[in-house]
């Protein structure tokens, strides 16, 4: 994978907030559901997600910045060694020879151990046949874990708001119930430790990107949920108790006499779960629905005029 900072388009000293913001922007642009006619978008989306996965993990980011792991999260080769044959140095440099290591033996460096890590392990894997502790602090690099596995999970709007557990089937066929984090939103990524591919050093992780599905009449605004509620003219004039849907089920709402279109009523605690605890609210905007060509209504209003200057505030 390319340099994760370049992939996300951020500087190496970018803050966690900047990295998260860049990822969300790119994830929304490249999401496969929005790029069904662009086969390259899915691959790019995967690259962006892997880059964010590395940089959003403080420990992995620090290891990458120090050159201890590569962009895929795998241990980096010591001395910049990158392969066999024509030389170990990336970028076309010459290979190392015995002369390059002269003097190391006097300092307690076991060359056999160095090459064990490069050529596949302990007990005969080294071209020198040597075993023992490394001269770099006495420890060997752990074998690499298996790869991470990417998943996309569509979550109904109401489930996202209420935090309802979601069932997901993994690549190995196992099904688990996934607990959504408070404040979950479109593009949120969840990490399931040890649920990825198996490797010599253990299993990788499952990375689940959440896609919150739109709702026919609910809209999200921060942690609040908004809805436009039609009411009749007589309900607006005389007041009424009307049923209004919420993400928790329908409730009765009191409309005060003389309510106008555009008036906003608040239902406490009927919004999204918040990271700080509690829940947002539901904001209900009243919309007076007047029937078309209602002869009875016309006759009742005949001769009556509202003499108020309701547009006075619009005059300059």
Indicate the DSSP class of residue 77: P
Tokens of 277: 């605890």
What's the pLDDT at 38?
80
Per-residue pLDDT reduced to its tens digit, 146-192: 999 999 999 999 999 999 999 999 988 899 999 999 999 999 999 99
Per-residue pLDDT reduced to its tens digit, 187-235: 999 999 999 998 888 999 999 999 999 999 999 999 999 999 999 999 9
What's the pLDDT at 149?
94
DSSP string, 154-201: EE-HHHHHHT--EEEE-TTS-EEEEPPPTT--TT-EEEETT-S---TT
What domains sit in the chain, N to C, each tagged with a CATH number?
144-214 (2.60.260.20), 219-314 (2.60.260.20)
pLDDT at residue 284 tops 60: yes
Tokens of 65: 């910045």
Give percent of the chain above pLDDT 70.
79
125: helix, strand or coil: coil
pLDDT at residue 116 tops 60: no
Per-residue pLDDT reduced to its tens digit, 76-110: 765 444 444 333 333 344 444 444 434 444 444 44
Report yes or no on whether pTM surpasses 0.85.
no
Check if the beta carbon of residue 232 is closer than 8 Å to that of residue 239.
no
How many residues in the chain?
A: 316
What's the pLDDT at 19?
92
């Amino acid at each position: 994978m390319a340099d994760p900072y370049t992939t996300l388009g951020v500087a190496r000293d970018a803050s966690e907030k900047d990295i998260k913001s860049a990822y969300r922007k790119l994830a929304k642009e490249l999401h496969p559901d929005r790029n069904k006619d662009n086969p390259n978008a899915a691959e790019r989306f995967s690259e962006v997600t892997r880059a964010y996965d590395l940089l959003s993990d403080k420990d992995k980011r620090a290891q990458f910045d120090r050159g201890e792991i590569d962009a895929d999260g795998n241990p980096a080769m010591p001395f910049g060694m990158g392969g066999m044959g024509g030389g170990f140095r990336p970028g076309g440099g010459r290979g190392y020879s015995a002369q390059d290591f002269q003097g190391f033996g006097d300092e307690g460096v076991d060359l056999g151990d160095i090459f064990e890590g490069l050529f596949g392990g302990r007990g005969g894997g080294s071209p020198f046949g040597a075993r023992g502790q490394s001269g770099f602090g006495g420890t060997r690099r752990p074998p690499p874990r298996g790869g991470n596995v990417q998943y996309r999970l569509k979550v109904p709007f109401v489930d996202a708001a209420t935090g309802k557990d979601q069932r997901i089937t993994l690549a190995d066929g196992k099904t688990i119930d996934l607990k959504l984090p408070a404040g979950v939103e479109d593009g949120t990524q969840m990490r399931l430790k040890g649920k990825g591919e198996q490797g010599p050093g253990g299993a990788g992780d499952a990375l689940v990107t959440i896609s919150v599905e739109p709702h026919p009449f609910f809209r999200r605004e921060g942690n609040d949920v908004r809805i436009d509620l039609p009411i009749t003219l007589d309900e607006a004039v005389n007041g009424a108790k009307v049923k209004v849907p919420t993400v928790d089920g329908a409730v009765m709402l009191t409309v005060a006499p003389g309510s106008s279109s555009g008036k906003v009523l608040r239902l406490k605690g009927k919004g999204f779960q918040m990271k700080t605890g509690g829940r947002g609210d539901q904001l209900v905007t009243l919309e007076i629905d007047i029937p078309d060509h209602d002869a009875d209504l016309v006759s009742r209003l005949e001769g009556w005029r509202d003499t108020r200057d309701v547009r006075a505030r619009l005059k300059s």
